[in-house]
Amino acid sequence: MLNYFDTPVIEIRSKEAENAGVKILVKREDLNHPIVSGNKWWKLRYNLEQAENFENRTILTFGGAYSNHIYASAGAAKELNLKSIGVIRGEEILPLNYTLAFAKDRGMKLHFVSREDYRKKTEEDFIKNLKERFGEFYLIPEGGSNALAVKGCAEFAREKLSSIDFDYLCLPVGTGGTTAGIIDGLEGKKKVVGFSVLKDGDFLNEEIRKLTRRHYLNWRIQTEYHFGGYAKRTPELDQFIDRMKQEYNLDLDPIYTGKMAAGVFDLVSKKYFSRGSTILLLHTGGLQAGRNKSDTF
């Protein structure tokens, strides 16, 4: 099993929070592991246990060129002495970016497929062809989001969030697995606000409903803060991330946590959150994405 390090909660004393009469906290889950950080630790926890008991001790998973999940899966597999295969969306571009170079260095076999073929990743024939090519493997879906991931994230909510005093939990959303698990784990006792990092992210509402065990009504997804879409960025987003680093020594990535935090600050300035409330931001890790800053997203 991967090591886990307890993480702190910090307060961001900003002018936006003061003007709105709210408190902003950050759960620094990015510090729970040096490689498999943030929500990836919880999403992969039980999947990796299954893989360790799998005869071939091989995992296969999916992701884009800047995927935190690919990065974390490769690192976890290396640490646990598992073999790993990454099916990567799009053509291979050399030299590899930081994310993919790291995954390859950790022993992950990178298999690039066209975007058209990538859309078939859940189809039986597509999986069959992968097994013919690579042999048997334990399959972890894109983003790690399956029932075992939801189980791990629900445990995180019960074990690590229950002792924190807050009214709203805010987090970035890519596939919905972490959000679904936290909704389950909080059992309707707090409000959950997810921030889609994808353009046209309304579909995430249905994905999360499918993954949750019970239909709680204490959550919603904000879809206006994608900053152009997945792995896209704007000067405004970069300026916000730089401000968080300079003023609060808080590192954020441009794909997930930066967008979520920027969305929270904008909503705070618009008085979206009830006066006197405490807003807890979940830092889901993925800071490796910032090392791709010179790349074109």
Handedness of CA 68, 143, 222, 160 (dihedral sign): negative
pLDDT for 292 equals 63
Stated as kind and residue range, the H or E segment containing 60 is: strand 58-63
List CB contacts of 13: < 8 A, sequence separation 6 or more: 24
Q: What is the pTM of this model?
A: 0.92
pLDDT for 276 equals 98
CATH code of the domain occupying 9-35+146-292: 3.40.50.1100
Q: What are the domain boundaries of the chain?
A: 9-35+146-292, 39-144
Contact 139, 47 (CB under 8 A): no
pLDDT for 288 equals 83
- Written as six digits, the tokens of 41 are 């630790």
Amino acid at 286: G
Q: Is the pLDDT of residue 83 over 50?
A: yes
CATH code of the domain occupying 39-144: 3.40.50.1100
The pLDDT of 199-226, averaged and rounded, is 94
Phi, psi of 124 (to 5 degrees): -60, -45
Q: Is the pLDDT of residue 138 over 80?
A: yes
E strands, 91-185, in order: 109-113, 138-139, 168-173
Upstream peptide bond of 34 is cis (omega within 30 degrees of 0):
no
CA 212, chain centre distance (Å) = 17
Q: How many Å apart are CA 198 and CA 8, to the nearest integer?
A: 28
pLDDT digits (tens, 9 = 90+) for 252-295: 999 999 999 999 999 999 999 999 999 999 999 989 876 665 44
Q: In Å, how far are 130, 137, 217, 238, 243 from 61, measured between CA atoms?
A: 11, 10, 31, 30, 35
Handedness of CA 221, 225, 231, 232 (dihedral sign): positive
Three-state DSSP at 269 gives helix
- Written as six digits, the tokens of 51 are 């893989």
Phi, psi of 75 (to 5 degrees): -65, -40
Q: Is the pLDDT of residue 296 over 50?
A: no
Q: Is the pLDDT of residue 240 over 70?
A: yes
Closest by alpha carbon to 103, among 85, 89, 128?
85
The pLDDT of 59-81, averaged and rounded, is 95
- The percent of residues in the chain predicted with pLDDT above 90, rounded, is 92
The pLDDT of 123-135, averaged and rounded, is 97
pLDDT digits (tens, 9 = 90+) for 84-100: 999 999 999 999 999 99
Q: Is the pLDDT of residue 297 over 50?
A: no
DSSP 215: -
Q: No. of H helices and E strands in the chain? A: 11, 10
